[in-house]
Structure 1
Amino acid sequence: MKFLIIIGIVLLIIISVWYAKKTGVNSEFHNKQKALTVSDTIDNPLDFGYKMVWIAVKTNQKKRLAEIIKLKSIKPANWKSGIKTAYEDGIYITPQIGEWTLITGNRLVNKGDNKENMAALETLLNYLSAEFGEAQFFGTNRVVEYHSWMKSKNGKMERIYSYLGESMENIKVFGQPTDAEDQLTLFNSFSKDAENEAYFERQDLTYADEMLVMEIAGKWSVNPTILSKRTDIKKELGLAGK
Structure 2
Amino acid sequence: MILIIAVMVALTIAFAASVLAPRLSERRIAFERSPDHPAAFGYKMAWLAVRSRDTAAVIEELGLLSAQPCNWRSGIGSVYDNRLGNDHIFVSPPVNGWTFVVGLALPYPVGRTFVDKCTPLLERLGRRFVEVQYFFAYPPIDLFAWARLLEGRVVRAFAITDTGIVWNKGRTTKEERALGLKLFDFRGIKGRKGDAGGEIILYPTEEHVLHLAQRWSLDPTELEDIDMAGHGLGYIALAPPTWRAERMRKAG
Deviations 1:203-232 (A, max 9, x none): 8x8521111000000100121111111126
Which amino acid in the other structure matches residue 74 of structure 1?
Answer: A
How far apart are the structure 2 equivalents of 1:160 and 1:118? 16
| Preserved CA contact (<8 Å) 2:50 2:98 | yes
Which amino acid in the other structure matches residue 171 of structure 1?
Answer: V
Determine if the alignment matches structure 1 residue 216 to structure 2 residue 212: yes
Q: Which has the larger radius of gyration?
A: 1
How far apart are the structure 1 equivalents of 2:223 and 2:232? 14
Relative to structure 1, the CA distance from residue 63 to residue 36 in structure 2 (aligned partners, 3 Å threshold; closer, same or farther) is farther
| Preserved CA contact (<8 Å) 1:142 1:209 | yes
Gaps of 5+ in 1: 1-31
Relative to structure 1, the CA distance from residue 78 to residue 72 in structure 2 (aligned partners, 3 Å threshold; closer, same or farther) is same
The partner residue of 2:100 within 90, 99, 102 is: 102
How far apart are the structure 1 equivalents of 2:42 and 2:27? 24
Structure 1 partner of 2:173: 178
The partner residue of 1:50 within 38, 43, 64 is: 43
Count matched residues. Answer: 203
The partner residue of 2:59 within 63, 66, 78 is: 66
Q: CA deviation at 1:53?
A: 0.4
Structure 2 partner of 1:12: none
Structure 1 partner of 2:242: none
Is the strand fraction higher in 1 or 2?
A: 2
Deviations 1:2-32 (A, max 9, x none): xxxxxxxxxxxxxxxxxxxxxxxxxxxxxx9
Is the helix fraction higher in 1 or 2?
A: 1
Classify the secondary structure of the residue corresponding to 1:81. Answer: helix
| Preserved CA contact (<8 Å) 2:145 2:158 | yes
The partner residue of 1:75 within 55, 68, 74 is: 68
RMSD: 2.5
How far apart are the structure 1 equivalents of 2:117 and 2:104? 16
- Alignment of structure 1 residues 122-161 onto 2, 5 Å: 122-161=119-158
| Preserved CA contact (<8 Å) 1:36 1:73 | no
Q: CA deviation at 1:39?
A: 0.6
How far apart are the structure 2 equivalents of 1:69 and 1:45? 22
